[in-house]
Chains A and B, each alone.
Chain A
Amino acid sequence: MQDKIPRNFALLALCAALAAPALAAIVPPGVQLHPTQTLIRNNGSEPETLDPALAETVGANNITRDLFEGLTANDGDGKIVPGVAESWKQTNATTWVFKLRQNAKWSNGDPVTAQDCVYGIRRFLDPKTASKYATTYGVFLLNGKEVAMGKKPPADVGVKALDKFTVEIKTAFPVTFLPQLLSNNNLGPLHQASVEKFGKDWTKPGNMVGNGAFMLKDWVVNRSVVIEKNPHYWDKDHVQLTRVTYLGVEDGNADVKLFESGQNEMVYQLPPGTYEDAKKKFPKDVRNAPMLGLRYYTLQTQSPAMKDVRVRKALSMVIDRDILATKITADGQAPAYGLIVKGMEGADMTDYDWAKWPMDKKVAEAKKLLADAGVKPGTKYTFTYNTSEYHKKMAIFAQSEWKKKLGVDIELEAMEFKVLVKKRHDGTFEIARDGFIADYNDATNFLALVRCDSDQNLNFNCNRKAEELITQAEQNDDAGKRKGLLTQATKMIMEDYPLIPLVQYSLPRLVKSYVGGYSLQNAQDRFRSKDLYIIKH
C-alpha cells in the first residue's frame, strides 16, 4: 500500500479541525435558561444493557451515548464532531491516527488514554463478549472480522496505542467513513480497571465508570435510568442539563398521557394514527424529522412465487406510495422508490424510472409484466408481517392495491416478531414486512441488505456484477469515484427488485417546547443530552 495521502484526506482533516471547537449545548443569544436543568425523556423500552459493547437497541444506545463517548461523536444536528479524539488524520488509505484530548477524564477522575480505546475495541470484538454487532463493525477493522469469529486473538485487531494519547486504527480496506463509524459507542473506550473489577456488575450504579457527559446515578429495571452531570467531563462547562431521567415506557398511549400530565417531557414516538391529532393538540411540541431508515417489503426471490423478476416489479409498481404516506401511515413519512434514502452519504438516491409515471400507466405496465410472466388473475401470494396495528394497516393497503390493480389475491399472515424474523432468516416466506434504520451514515450500511454474501440479505437475491462494483468501491479511496460505483451498484441491484421500497422513516414525537437544542436535522435520531437544555418557562 503506497503512502499516498488520499484526496479526501485534506477535506476530512479540515472538517475535523473546523468541528473541533463545536461544543455542546450552544444556547442561542437571547435565550434564557431555566434555573432547573433537568429533563425526563421516554426511551421507548427498557435498555437491554448499559454495556456499550453489547448495546444493540436504539434505547440502550441512547443512554450509553450519554454515559460514554467514542473517539468521535454526533452533535445535535447529527454531524460527526470530535469526541474523545480532538483531531484525526488519515495517513494512508487504510491507516488513521487519532489524537486524544489530554483533558478527557473518566468519571472517577482517571485520564482517558489511548490504551482505553484499544481495550474497548478489543473487548468489543472478543468472542467472549459475544456482542451481536461484533461482525457488523468488526468487518471494517484490520483483522476485525477474524477476531470476532474467533479465528485470531483480540490482540491482532488493527488498533494500537502509539503513545498515551494517540491511537492508530488500521482498516481492512479503505473505509472513508471511519470517523462516522467510530461515533458508535460499541467501538469506544472503556475503563478497564472497573470492568475487570466488577465483572458483569460493572454497569450497575456505583460501579460504572464512564467518560460521557453524564454518569449513572440510578437504574430501576422497567422504571427508569437516572443519569447526572459528570463533573470530570472535559466539556462540562457547556453541559447544561444536570439530571436526565430515561423512562422505559413501551406503550405509546401511556407515553403521551405522561407527557400530557407533565411527567414526561419527550415522547419516544407518537402511536400510529395520532400524528394529525397531536399536531392540533400540541402545535408547539410536535416534532417530526426524516430519518435514515426505510420501510420496505422483502421479496423472497428464490421462492417459486417470487422467482420471476417481472412479478416482483409488477408488485412494486402499483403500490401508491403517496397515498400510503399521506393517508395510511399519515405521520409525515416520505414516499420511497429506492434503497438509498434522502440524507444518506456514500451513494446517490436511485429512484425507479417509473416512479413519476401516472398510476394508470404503471398499472398497465404491471399487468403486462404479470401476463408475460404467466400469472393469472386470482393467483395467491402470502404476505407475512408481525402483529402490530401499524404494520397491519400498511399490509391491508398493499393487499388492496394488489387486488384492485392487478387482481392477485394476498393472504395476510400475522405473527409474533420473533417468529417473523426467524421466517425471514430461514427464507420461508414470499413477501415479508421489513424495515431498516442506519447504524452509520454510509451507503454500504444499506447495501448490506442486498449484497450477495451478507448476513442481512433476506431476499436471497445475488447480483454478481453489482457485487464487483461494490468491491471496487470498497477498495477505492476517492470519495467521488466510490460514490459513483456504489450508486451504479445500487441501481443495478434494485433492477432485480429484491425488495419493495415504501416510505422513508420519520420520527414523529412530542418534545416540550421549552426543550432547547432539539434539531430536526438529526437524521439518525442520535440526541446526546449534552446538546439539550431547558429554556426558562
Chain B
Amino acid sequence: MWSYTLRRLLATIPTLLAVITACYFLVHAAPGGPFDSDKQVSAAVLANLQAKYHLDLPPWQQYLFYLNNVIHGDLGASFRYADWSVNDLVAAALPVSLSIGGLSMLISFFVGVAMGTAAALRQNSAADYGVMLVGNLGSVFPSFVIGPVLVLVFALWLHWLPAGGWDDFKPAFMIMPVALLTFINVATIARVMRGSLIEVMHSNFIRTARAKGLPTRIVVLRHALKPALLPVISVLSPLAISSITAALVTETVFSIPGLGKLIVNGAGNRDYTLVLGLVVLITVLAVTLNLIVDLAYAALDPKIRY
C-alpha cells in the first residue's frame, strides 16, 4: 500500500508538468493580452509593463522562469491585482472555497447515501419516487436558477439569512451556498447509491445472508452497505472537482470571495499567472482527491490489492 501511494505521488509530477505546460502556452495564445484595455497603453509604458512582468523575454525563457518559480512555491505576481501575488490571492480564496465545497461534499455524502439507501430498500414505493424526484430536480435545475430562488425566499422574504457576501466563516453566510452545492451533489450520490444498493441486494451473498435469517437492518449494515458504497466513492472525486466548476456560479450568485471568482476574473483579465496558479492548484486538488478515493476503495474492498 505504501509503495502504491508513493508511486501515485511520483506519478503526479509528469501530470502536473504536462498540465502546466499545456495551460501555459494556451493562456498565452489566447487573443488579447493582460494590458489590453479601453485606454490604449503607449508603447513606452507597455514596454515598461512587459519588462516588469518578464514578458519581454523569449517565450521559452518566460516558461522556464515561471516553472522555476512554481517549483520554489512562487506562483508569481498577479497581472491584474498589482498589489498582490498569486500566492496571496490563492491563500485568501482557498479556505473560503474549501470550507464551502468540503462542507457540501460531507453533507452530500451522508444525506445522499441515506436517501439512496432508503429509496433502494423501498423500491417503487412513494419514498423511492420522492428520492428520485429530488434527485432529478437536483440534476435538472441549474444552480443559477436555484441560487436566486434561495436568496429570494430566505433572505428577502423570510429575512432569515443574508442575501450574500462573506464574513469570516460565519455560518449564516455559508448556509445558502452550502445548501445549493449540496442540492446538486446529493442528487448524484443518491441516484448512484440507490442503483448500487439495489444491485447488491440482488446478489447471491445477500440472498445467503437473508436465508440465514438475518434481519434486513443487519443484512444492509453489515453486508450490503460496504460494497454498495464503492460506486459512490468512485463518483466523489469527479463530483468534488465539478464542485469547483459549480462554485463559479455559486460564488457569483452569493458574492463569495472564493476560487471560482478568481478563475473567472483571471481568465477575463488575461491574468496569466493567476490562471496558471489556479490551474496548478486545481490539478493538485484533483490528483489528491483521486488518490484518496483509490485508497478508500482499497480499504473498503479487500479484494483490491495494489
Q: Which residues of the partner chain A approach B52 to less than 8 Å between Cβ atoms?
A: 130
Residue in B45, B258, B261 whose CB lies within 8 Å of A127: B45
Give Cα distance in the complex from A422 to B36, angstroms. Answer: 6
Judge whether B44 and A249 touch: CB under 8 Å: no
Q: Which residues of the partner chain A approach B81 to less than 8 Å between Cβ atoms?
A: 46, 48-49, 221
Give Cα distance in the complex from A248 to B81, angstroms. Answer: 13
Question: Is B159 in contact with chain A by the CB < 8 A criterion?
Answer: yes
Residues 61-83 of B contacting A (Cβ, < 8 Å): 80-83
Judge whether B164 and A263 touch: CB under 8 Å: yes
- Minimum CB–CB distance from B194 to chain A (whole Å) comes to 35
Judge whether B262 and A222 touch: CB under 8 Å: yes
Judge whether A223 and B257 touch: CB under 8 Å: yes
- Minimum CB–CB distance from A454 to chain B (whole Å) comes to 9
Residues 178-223 of A contacting B (Cβ, < 8 Å): 200-201, 203-204, 220-223
Q: Which residues of the partner chain A approach B166 to less than 8 Å between Cβ atoms?
A: 223
Instruction: Determine the residue in chain A with the shortest Cβ distance to B253.
Output: A254
Binding stretch for chain A, among B103-111, B148-156, B227-235: B148-156
Q: Which residues of the partner chain B approach A403 to less than 8 Å between Cβ atoms?
A: none
Judge whether A49 and B39 touch: CB under 8 Å: no
Judge whether B257 and A220 touch: CB under 8 Å: yes
- Contact flags (1/0) for A409-437 with B, using CB distance below 8 Å? 00000001111011001000000000110
Q: Which residues of the partner chain A approach B279 to less than 8 Å between Cβ atoms?
A: none
- Minimum CB–CB distance from A210 to chain B (whole Å) comes to 14
- Minimum CB–CB distance from A296 to chain B (whole Å) comes to 13
Judge whether A421 and B32 touch: CB under 8 Å: yes
Question: Is B59 in contact with chain A by the CB < 8 A criterion?
Answer: no
Q: Which residues of the partner chain A approach B24 to less than 8 Å between Cβ atoms?
A: none
The SS class assigned to the A binding surface is loop
- Contact flags (1/0) for A67-83 with B, using CB distance below 8 Å? 00000000000000000
Judge whether A56 and B37 touch: CB under 8 Å: yes
- Minimum CB–CB distance from A434 to chain B (whole Å) comes to 8
- Minimum CB–CB distance from A249 to chain B (whole Å) comes to 5
- Minimum CB–CB distance from B271 to chain A (whole Å) comes to 10
Give Cα distance in the complex from A226 to B49, angstroms. Answer: 29
Judge whether A51 and B40 touch: CB under 8 Å: no
Instruction: Determine the residue in chain A with the shortest Cβ distance to B166.
Output: A223
Binding stretch for chain B, among A131-139, A328-336, A361-369, A524-532: A131-139
- Minimum CB–CB distance from A306 to chain B (whole Å) comes to 20
Judge whether A421 and B37 touch: CB under 8 Å: yes
Give Cα distance in the complex from A220 to B95, angstroms. Answer: 13
Known A-B contacts A132-B39, A221-B93, A223-B257; A254 and B33 likewise in contact (beta carbons under 8 Å)? no
- Contact flags (1/0) for B1-20 with A, using CB distance below 8 Å? 00000000000000000000
Judge whether B36 and A221 touch: CB under 8 Å: no
Question: Is B102 in contact with chain A by the CB < 8 A criterion?
Answer: no
Q: Which residues of the partner chain A approach B262 to less than 8 Å between Cβ atoms?
A: 222
Residues 432-471 of A contacting B (Cβ, < 8 Å): 435-436, 455-456, 458
Judge whether B83 and A257 touch: CB under 8 Å: no
Question: Is A156 in contact with chain B by the CB < 8 A criterion?
Answer: no
Judge whether B44 and A247 touch: CB under 8 Å: no
| Interface-centre pick from B35, B82, B155, B252 (highest chain A CB count, 10 A) | B82
Binding stretch for chain A, among B84-92, B113-121, B207-215, B280-288: B84-92
Question: Is B191 in contact with chain A by the CB < 8 A criterion?
Answer: no
- Minimum CB–CB distance from B156 to chain A (whole Å) comes to 6
Question: Is B245 in contact with chain A by the CB < 8 A criterion?
Answer: no
Judge whether A261 and B48 touch: CB under 8 Å: no
Instruction: Determine the residue in chain A with the shortest Cβ distance to B147.
Output: A254
Give Cα distance in the complex from A417 to B269, angstroms. Answer: 9
Known A-B contacts A204-B83, A221-B257, A251-B252; A258 and B165 likewise in contact (beta carbons under 8 Å)? yes
Residue in B80, B261, B268 whose CB lies within 8 Å of A417: B268
Judge whether B31 and A251 touch: CB under 8 Å: no
- Contact flags (1/0) for B47-63 with A, using CB distance below 8 Å? 01100100000000000
- Minimum CB–CB distance from B278 to chain A (whole Å) comes to 13
Question: Is B296 in contact with chain A by the CB < 8 A criterion?
Answer: no
Interface size of A by Cβ–Cβ distance < 8 Å? 51
- Minimum CB–CB distance from B119 to chain A (whole Å) comes to 35
Question: Is A54 in contact with chain B by the CB < 8 A criterion?
Answer: yes
Judge whether B270 and A203 touch: CB under 8 Å: no
Q: Which residues of the partner chain A approach B218 to less than 8 Å between Cβ atoms?
A: none
- Minimum CB–CB distance from A365 to chain B (whole Å) comes to 33
| Interface-centre pick from B45, B48, B254 (highest chain A CB count, 10 A) | B45
Question: Is A260 in contact with chain B by the CB < 8 A criterion?
Answer: yes
Instruction: Determine the residue in chain B with the shortest Cβ distance to A219.
Output: B83
Judge whether B35 and A54 touch: CB under 8 Å: no
Q: Which residues of the partner chain A approach B92 to less than 8 Å between Cβ atoms?
A: 220-222
Known A-B contacts A150-B48, A222-B93; A419 and B32 likewise in contact (beta carbons under 8 Å)? yes
| Interface-centre pick from B44, B155, B255, B261 (highest chain A CB count, 10 A) | B255
Known A-B contacts A251-B253, A257-B151, A456-B39; A132 and B83 likewise in contact (beta carbons under 8 Å)? no
Known A-B contacts A46-B265, A222-B262; A263 and B31 likewise in contact (beta carbons under 8 Å)? no
- Contact flags (1/0) for A256-271 with B, using CB distance below 8 Å? 0110110100000000
Q: Which residues of the partner chain B approach A425 to less than 8 Å between Cβ atoms?
A: 36, 40
Judge whether B36 and A421 touch: CB under 8 Å: yes
Q: Which residues of the partner chain B approach A436 to less than 8 Å between Cβ atoms?
A: 38
Known A-B contacts A221-B257, A254-B254, A421-B38; A51 and B165 likewise in contact (beta carbons under 8 Å)? no
Give Cα distance in the complex from A435 to B39, angstroms. Answer: 11
Give Cα distance in the complex from A201 to B84, angstroms. Answer: 8
Q: Which residues of the partner chain B approach A263 to less than 8 Å between Cβ atoms?
A: 162-165
Question: Is A39 in contact with chain B by the CB < 8 A criterion?
Answer: no
Judge whether B44 and A148 touch: CB under 8 Å: yes
Q: Which residues of the partner chain B approach A254 to less than 8 Å between Cβ atoms?
A: 163-164, 252-255
Question: Is B41 in contact with chain A by the CB < 8 A criterion?
Answer: yes
Residue in B42, B80, B261 whose CB lies within 8 Å of A455: B42
Q: Which residues of the partner chain B approach A26 to less than 8 Å between Cβ atoms?
A: none
Question: Is A128 in contact with chain B by the CB < 8 A criterion?
Answer: yes
- Minimum CB–CB distance from B146 to chain A (whole Å) comes to 14
Chain B residues in contact with chain A, CB under 8 A? 30-33, 35-42, 44-45, 48-49, 52, 80-84, 88-89, 92-93, 148, 151, 155-156, 159, 162-166, 252-255, 257-258, 261-262, 265, 268-270
What 10 A-B pairs are tightest by C-beta distance, nearest first? Answer: A418-B32, A222-B257, A261-B163, A149-B44, A130-B48, A223-B257, A455-B40, A49-B82, A257-B163, A135-B42
- Apart from A260-B163, A418-B30, A421-B32, what 10 extra A-B contacts exist at CB < 8 Å? A50-B83, A130-B49, A132-B37, A200-B82, A220-B92, A258-B255, A261-B156, A263-B162, A263-B163, A418-B33
13 example contacts (A-B, Cβ-Cβ < 8 A) are as follows A56-B39, A127-B45, A132-B41, A221-B81, A221-B88, A251-B252, A254-B254, A257-B151, A261-B155, A261-B163, A263-B163, A418-B32, A421-B36
